[in-house]
Structure 1
Amino acid sequence: MGFFRDLSRQAKRMTSDEEFLGFIKVIESLVSKILSLAMVAVILISVVDLIISLGQDLFLHQPVGFFTTTIIKIFGFFLNILIALELLENITAYLKNHAVQVELVIITSLIAVARKIIILDLKEVTGLQLIGLAIAILALSISFLIVRFMNKRTHNGH
């Protein structure tokens, strides 16, 4: 009988808002740590993939020009790793501050759009797609300026 009474008390305590929010924070922290470890694995595998690709182009193939893989594809590899590093920084910042840092998210988005533009094959895109990319860049840039302005204003005490 005492077991059920203790279990009832535990359940009642867990239904309080403070206990529940504490439980949610623990879950958020655990998920963030798992995502961080997964992102580190993705980054390391991507770096190894880049090294293998560069090594094959430099040492195994008869170079035509310098790389058989187009330089644009190599830039794409580098930018993918940079985006992954930015995502890891976003997760790390969340673990430190327990808040999403909007400025970092916007910067990561700008890098992703820049990557798309750098590796873009102009023969395969329509004018409408280019306009869409231009609007995305403009919107992200304006968002970044607004967030940066608001952050500076908050730090300066206004």
Structure 2
Amino acid sequence: MRWFKKFIRNLTISDPDNEHFLKFIHRLEVIVSKILSLLMIGIIFVSLFDLVSFLVQQVFSPPTGFFNRTLFEIFGLFLNVLIALELLENITAYLQRNVIHVELVIVTSLIAVARKVIIFDLEKKQAIDLIALALTILALSISYLLIRLSRIKDRP
């Protein structure tokens, strides 16, 4: 209840620079980012457990030692864990530098789209879906290249 009163007070203070309000918003962003980090760690462990249980089930089910499902599903599960790790890295980078790191976001997006390509089922999807994924990868790759080139030019 105290934080709510403080919030209302910060809203009503006539501060020309809005310094009090902006500090409050910044603190709120940090709290939300920390909560997201903890939740993402939980998701990573659940995804990892899902991957391990899937692999154990596939290895020890008849015929023993052979994967009953395609390797693409297994790669998809691996990439789920990697995507979750990248998202955690994005949140951590935000907490460290207080800025959303665009390069990390694009890399995470590329991994997510790559996962879609790996698990893409040509029997269930249409060619236009594959073209859309290809254009998405092209756009993200060009964005990543432009960001990397701008970082190289900024260095002395």
Tell me which residue corresponds to 1:106.
Answer: 106
Tell me which residue corresponds to 1:11.
Answer: 9
Tell me which residue corresponds to 1:127.
Answer: 127
For residues 152 and 76 of structure 1, what CA distance do their matches in structure 2 show?
A: 33
Residue 97 of structure 1 and its aligned partner are, at CA, apart by 0.4
In the superposition, the TM-score normalised over structure 1's length comes to 0.86
Which segment drifts farther, 122-131 or 132-141? 122-131
Residue 125 of structure 1 and its aligned partner are, at CA, apart by 1.7
**1:76 maps to amino acid:** G
For residues 47 and 135 of structure 1, what CA distance do their matches in structure 2 show?
A: 30
For residues 113-152 of structure 1, what are the structure 2 equivalents within 5 Å? Answer: 113-152=113-152
Change in 2 beyond 3 A, CA 1:65/1:51: closer
Residue 118 of structure 1 and its aligned partner are, at CA, apart by 0.5
Matched, 1:32 2:33: yes
Aligned residues: 147
Change in 2 beyond 3 A, CA 1:13/1:69: closer
Tell me which residue corresponds to 1:97.
Answer: 97
For residues 139 and 89 of structure 1, what CA distance do their matches in structure 2 show?
A: 22
**1:67 maps to amino acid:** F
For residues 68 and 42 of structure 2, what CA distance do their matches in structure 1 show?
A: 28
1:14, 1:20 within 8 Å by CA — same for their partners in 2? no
Unaligned runs of 5+ in 1: 1-6
Tell me which residue corresponds to 1:79.
Answer: 79
In the superposition, the TM-score normalised over structure 2's length comes to 0.87
Indicate the percent of aligned positions where both proteins have the same amino acid. Answer: 52
- Partner of 1:142, secondary structure, is helix
For residues 133 and 10 of structure 2, what CA distance do their matches in structure 1 show?
A: 52
**1:11 maps to amino acid:** R
RMSD (Å) for aligned C-alpha atoms: 1.9
For residues 75 and 11 of structure 2, what CA distance do their matches in structure 1 show?
A: 55
Which segment drifts farther, 64-73 or 132-141? 64-73
2:44, 2:81 within 8 Å by CA — same for their partners in 1? yes
**2:77 maps to amino acid:** F
